[in-house]
Homo-oligomer: A and B are copies of this chain.
């Protein structure tokens, strides 16, 4: 079970972040090889618990990314709990990530365009 702490502000709905998850996970694996549980913790702590990825979702993302050749996995030889499955990013994954970063910029522009001027 993942721990749950009270977030600093409001939680982010999953529909809002949907479509960015692959890129976010990939971004963290890009920094260094990581395993699932670690990533879920990292996301929670970096966002001060404003966003928490669900376990089932996370592992579904791994499956998708690996199937598409964006990450590769291997088992770690030590741990402190269940056995860890580590992921590393592939060349293809890096290319995808670069694309995704561009796409995010573009998306911000477009949604800002359609949502601006409400304050």
Q: Which residues of A contact B (CB under 8 A)?
A: 9-10, 12-13, 15-20, 23-24, 27-28, 30, 43, 46-47, 50-51, 97-98, 100-104, 106-108, 110-111, 113-115, 118-119
> Shortest Cβ distance from A36 into chain B, in angstroms?
16
Residues of B close to A97: CB separation below 8 A: 118
* Consensus secondary structure, chain A interface: helix
A20-B24 in contact given A10-B106, A104-B111, A104-B115 (Cβ < 8 Å): no
Residue of B nearest to A94 (CB): B118
Residues of B close to A113: CB separation below 8 A: 46-47
The 9 A-B pairs with the shortest beta carbon distances in the complex, nearest first, are A15-B19, A16-B19, A101-B118, A24-B114, A47-B110, A16-B107, A51-B110, A27-B115, A20-B111
